[in-house]
């Protein structure tokens, strides 16, 4: 298996796990970090896929794990905005998405 599939943590999950979060935010942030790691594993499987269908099965699983909605619980626990960007930001109008808030 390639380097991507060796079980390393997603860089962002290491950052999330490396901080001391308020008590109420620890579990939601840990779950978010777990989702990032799961997405990384799915993308490693996609990268090693023997065919297009298998690639897209794993790519889609990884992509869904990073959907903006998956961050709401952690963001709420941290007192951050919880409204994911609307789909109209990605409507193909030629914009580069530079105005999207993270």
> 94, 101, 44: which is closest to 71 by C-alpha?
101
Q: Is the pLDDT score of 97 beyond 80?
A: no
pLDDT in tens, 74-83: 999 999 999 8
pLDDT in tens, 9-36: 668 889 999 999 999 999 999 999 999 9
Classify residue 4 as exposed, middle or buried by CB count within 10 Å of its CB (0-12, 13-18, 19+). middle
Contact 13, 74 (CB under 8 A): no
pLDDT in tens, 45-68: 999 999 999 999 999 999 999 888
């Amino acid at each position: 298996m390639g380097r991507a599939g060796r079980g390393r943590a997603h860089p962002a999950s290491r950052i999330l796990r490396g901080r001391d979060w308020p008590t109420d935010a620890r579990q939601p942030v840990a779950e978010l970090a777990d989702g990032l790691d799961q997405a990384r594993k799915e993308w490693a499987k996609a990268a090693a896929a023997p065919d297009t269908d298998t690639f897209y099965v794993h790519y889609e699983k990884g992509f869904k794990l990073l959907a903006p909605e998956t961050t709401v619980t952690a963001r709420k626990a941290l007192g951050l905005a919880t409204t994911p960007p609307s789909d109209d930001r990605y409507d193909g109008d030629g914009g580069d998405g530079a105005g999207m808030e993270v």
